[in-house]
Amino acid sequence: STMFLVGLSGGIASGKSTVVAVLRELGCAVIDADVIAREVVQPHSKAHQQILQHFGTGILLENGEINREALGNIIFSQPEKRRLLNSITHPEILKEMLKQVLKYFVLGYRYVILDIPLLFETRGLTRFMKYTVLVYCDPPTQLVRLMRRSGLGAAEAEARISSQLPLDEKRKWATHVIDNSGDRESTRRQVLRLHARLEDSLDFLWARLAVGTAVAALGGLAFLLLRHFIS
C-alpha cells in the first residue's frame, strides 16, 4: 500500500479556493492548514483555555473566540509571549494534522493534499512533499481580482500583494502549476489533468510519509500555521 503527500499553495486572490473546490468534487483528501490552526483554539478547547490563562480575557471577541488581531499585537511585540503561545498551540496543530493524514492512509487514499498557505515561504517544508502545486495567476489579474473581492483601492491591493512572496518566485519551486489567469473551465481542466497524473503516481512509500510528516511539523510547520492564523 502506498500514499504520498502533495503540497498545495498559492497567493492572495490567486484562486486557490477554486482549485481546492474542484479537488474536493473529485473526492480528493484535502487537509486545510488554515482550518486546523483556527479549530485548535476554538472556545472550550485545551489550547483556548491555556491561552486565556496566560493572556487574559482581553483578547476575546464577544462570541468567546480569540481576537486574532489583538493576540497578534501582543506576540509580535513580545518574543517571550510568542514562544509561550507557540508552546501551547504547536502540539495541538501537529496532533490534528497527523490524525488526519493517518485517517486518510487507513481509508486507502492514493495521495493527500496539504493546503498550506505558506508552503513556499519556507523551503524546508517542500522537501517532505512528493509534489508541490502552485495556484498561479498573472500579476495584473491578481490585482484586479483582489480589488474586486475586497473593495480595496489599487495602492492598498498592491501593498497586500507585495507583502507576500511573488507568485512568479513561487512558480520556480513548484513541481506543478495551475494557471488560474483564465476562466473557471480552463482551471478545472488543469485540475482534472493534475488529478489524473497524481492517481498514476505510486512511488512514495507510506513509511516515508509518516516520518516526513512528523519531521516537517516538528521543523516549523506549526509555527507557520500559527503565524498565518494571527496575521
Is the domain of 151 the same as that of 167?
yes
Find all residues with CB under 8 Å of 2, minimum gap 6, and list them: 110, 202, 203, 204, 205, 206
Domain co-membership, 114 together with 177: yes
One domain for residues 176 and 159: yes
Please give the average per-residue pLDDT across 55-67, as a whole number. Answer: 94
163 assigned to some structural domain: yes
Which residues of 165-228 form beta strands (DSSP E)?
176-179
The continuous run of DSSP H or E covering 133 comes out as strand 131-136
Same domain? 24 vs 113: yes
- The verdict on residue 60 lying in a domain is no
Q: Please name which of 141, 226, 228, 218 lies closest in space to residue 179, comparing C-alpha atoms.
A: 141
The pTM (predicted TM-score) of the whole model is 0.76
Average pLDDT value for the chain: 86
Give the residue from 17, 99, 84 showing the smallest Cα distance to 51.
Answer: 84
In the chain, the number of structural domains is 2
Length of the chain in residues, anyone? 231
Same domain, 17 and 116: yes
Report yes or no on 141 lying in a domain. yes
Q: Domain check: are 159 and 222 in the same one?
A: no
Domain contains 63: no
Instruction: Identify the residue whose cell numbers are 476554538.
Output: 42
Contact 97, 36 (CB under 8 A): yes
CATH of the domain at 155: 3.40.50.300
Predicted confidence (pLDDT) per residue in 106-125, tens digit:
999 989 999 988 889 877 67
Residue 52 within a domain: no
Give a yes or no: residue 89 inside a domain.
no
pLDDT in tens, 124-144: 678 878 999 999 999 999 999
Distance from first CA to last CA of the chain, Å, rounded? 39
Residues 194 and 214 in one domain: no
Euclidean distance between CA atoms 47 and 67, whole angstroms:
14
Shared-domain flag, residues 169 and 127 = yes
- Cα 33 to chain center, whole Å? 4
Same domain, 132 and 195: yes
Examine residue 151 and state whether it is found in any structural domain, yes or no. Answer: yes
Residues 158 and 226 in one domain: no
> Which domain, by its residues, includes 220?
205-230
Contact 67, 48 (CB under 8 A): no
Render pLDDT for 7-34 as a digit per residue (tens, 0 to 9): 999 999 999 999 999 999 999 999 998 8
Assigned domain for 164 exists: yes
Q: What SS3 state is found at 31?
A: strand
Do 143 and 215 have their domain in common?
A: no
pLDDT in tens, 72-100: 889 877 889 988 998 998 889 878 988 99
**Domain identity same for 140 and 215:** no
Sheet of 4-9: strand order equals 29-32, 111-115, 4-9, 131-136, 176-179
